[in-house]
A and B are shown apart, each in its own frame.
Chain A
Amino acid sequence: MSQSFSAAPRIAALFAKIGPALLSVGTLVLAWELYARISGISPTTLPAPSRILAQAIQQRQALFDNTVPTTSATLVGFACSLAVAFLLSVLIDFFKPLRRALFPVFIISQTLPLVAIAPLVILWFGFGLTPKIMLVALVTFFPMLVALVQGYESTDRDISALLSSMGASRMRIFLLARLPSSLPYFFAGLRISITYAVVGAIFAEYAGAAKGLGIYMLNAKNNFRPDLVLAAVLISALLTLALFAATVLIQRAAMPWERLDAARKS
C-alpha cells in the first residue's frame, strides 16, 4: 500500500468509494423526475423530486421542528436499549443458563408486529417520549444483545488459556479479552440496529404523537400532500445515513488496529 499525502489522489480515492453510490442514486432520481414530468401524472399522486425538494425547503422550519423529537426519541431509545443489552449480555456471559431462559422471550418479542404493538404502547404510556423510547428499544435491543453475546464467544481460546495460566480471574478475562473481542460484532450490530431505531421511532410517532416525523407524515398524507410525506421521508433517510456514518466514525476511533488488519489482508 502506498501512502500519499497530496490532496488530489485522496479526493480521487474518495470519489472511487462514493462515486458508484452517487451514480445509482442520481440515475434513480433523474428517471423519477423525467417520468413525473413526461407522463403528466398529478403531483398529488406522484410529485417530482424537484417539487419535493422545493417544498422541503419551503417547509424547512416545520420539518426541523418535527425532526428534533424523532432524533431524540431515536437516540434516547437506542441508548437505553444499548445499556440494557450490554448489562444482560454480561450477565448471560457469566451465567450461561440465563441465555436459554431469556432468549426465547426475546425472540418472541421480535415477532410482535409493530403495527399491533405500537398503538398499545401509546395507549399505555401516553403521547410523550416514553412509548417512543420503548418501541425503539424493542426493535434494537435483541440484535444488539445477540451481537454482544456472540462477540464474547468469538474470543480466541489461546488468549483465554493464556490469561488463565497467568492467574487472571474470570472478571479479568472478561475485561481483558472477551470485551475487546466483541467489538467487531458490537459495531456490526450497531450499524444494523441504528437503521431499525429510526424506523422504530417514526413508527411510534405514526401511532400517536404530538410532534415528530412520523406524525408529520401522517398529517401530510391526510392532507393529500405526498410531496410533504416524501420530504419527511427524505429527512428520515438523511438522519439514518448520518447516524450510520457516525457509527462508522466511532468504530474507526475505537478500533484503530482494525484498519491495519484490513490493510494487511488486502
Chain B
Amino acid sequence: MSRRLELRQVSKRFGDIDVLAGITLHVEPGEFVSILGPSGAGKSTIFKLLTGGLEGYGGGVDFDGRPLADARRPFAFMPQHDALMPWRTVIDNTALGLEVQGMSRKAARDKVAPLFGEFGLAGFEQRYPAQLSGGMRQRAALLRTVVQDRAMLLLDEPFGALDALTRTGMQRWLAMMWDRHRWTVLLITHDVREAVFLSDRIYVLSSRPARVLREIAIPLPRPRTDLVSPEASAIEADILDTLLDPQPAQRT
C-alpha cells in the first residue's frame, strides 16, 4: 500500500528568508501524525503548500504515490482560528465545503444535519456562531472539515485559541472521535502534550528555517483516555528536551 502523503526534501524561501529547509515526512492511510514545533517555525507554511495557497517550492510532494498536482483536492483543511462565517447559521457554516463542491444548499444541509448529535451540536443548527462557546465553535469547524469526505484532514493548531480546560476537553473528544472514524490526519501544534496524546507519530521541527529534528513513534495503546499517563509523560519530557535544547552535542 502506498503512502497517503509523502514530502521529500521540501524547501521554501520567502525572498531571502529560508522557511522550510528540506522537510521530509510521510503519513500512512489511517494514521494520525503531528508536526510539532516552536511558533513561527513555518509549520503553517507546509499546509499552505499542500492546499495550493503557495506557489514555487523545492522538493517533491506525493499523494497516494502520485505527484500532488495530479490529486484532486485531497485535503480538508481546518484553519487556526475556526474561520466560521458570522453571517451564516451553524448548519450553513458546516455545510460550506459541500456547497463549494457544487452541492445545493438543501442537499448540503441534509448531509450535515445527521452529524450534529455526534459533534455535540444538536439543537444549535439555526444559531449563529456568536451564540456558541469556544469549544462548540471548534467542533463546528471540525464538522465542516470532516463532512467534506476528503482523503486526509489537515488541522492547523485547532485548539490553540481555547482556554486550558476547554482545550483538554476538546483533545479528549478528538481522540475519541478519531478512534471511531480513523481519519488520516496531519495535525500542526506547539502543544507537546496534545501531540503525544493524539498522535501515532510526531515530527519535531526546529525553529526557522524548519528542519525535522526527530521522528518519534508513540507506542501508547488506544483508545487513549488519560492525557498524563507515566509513559506519555516520559515521551513528553524527551520531546521537550529536543525542542528546548536542539543541539545534542551540548547536552550533558
Measured CB to CB, the residues of A under 8 A from B are 156, 158-159, 161-168, 172, 176-177, 180, 183, 255-257, 260-261, 264
B160 within 8 A of A: no
B100 touches A166 (CB 8 A): yes
User: Residue of A at shortest CB range from B80?
Assistant: A158
Known interface pairs A162-B79, A165-B52. Does A172 touch B100 (Cβ–Cβ under 8 Å)? yes
Sample 26 A-B pairs with CB under 8 A, ordered by A number.
A156-B83, A158-B80, A158-B83, A159-B83, A159-B85, A161-B53, A162-B83, A163-B100, A164-B51, A164-B52, A165-B76, A165-B77, A167-B73, A167-B101, A168-B100, A176-B96, A176-B99, A177-B85, A180-B87, A257-B128, A257-B129, A257-B130, A260-B131, A261-B86, A264-B130, A264-B131
Contacts of A167 in B (CB 8 A): 73, 100-101
A161 to B85, CA, bound (A): 13
Main SS class of interface, B:
loop
A93 to B231, CA, bound (A): 54
Known interface pairs A166-B96, A166-B97. Does A257 touch B148 (Cβ–Cβ under 8 Å)? no
Interface residue count on the B side (C-beta < 8 Å): 25
Which residues between 73 and 105 of chain B lie within 8 Å of chain A, taking CB atoms? 73, 75-77, 79-81, 83, 85-87, 96-97, 99-101
A257 touches B86 (CB 8 A): yes
Q: 9 smallest A-B Cβ distances: which pairs?
A: A165-B51, A158-B83, A165-B77, A257-B128, A166-B100, A260-B130, A158-B79, A180-B87, A168-B100
Q: What's the nearest-Cβ distance from chain B to residue A133, in Å?
A: 32
Contacts of B48 in A (CB 8 A): 161
Contacts of B73 in A (CB 8 A): 166-167
B53 touches A165 (CB 8 A): yes
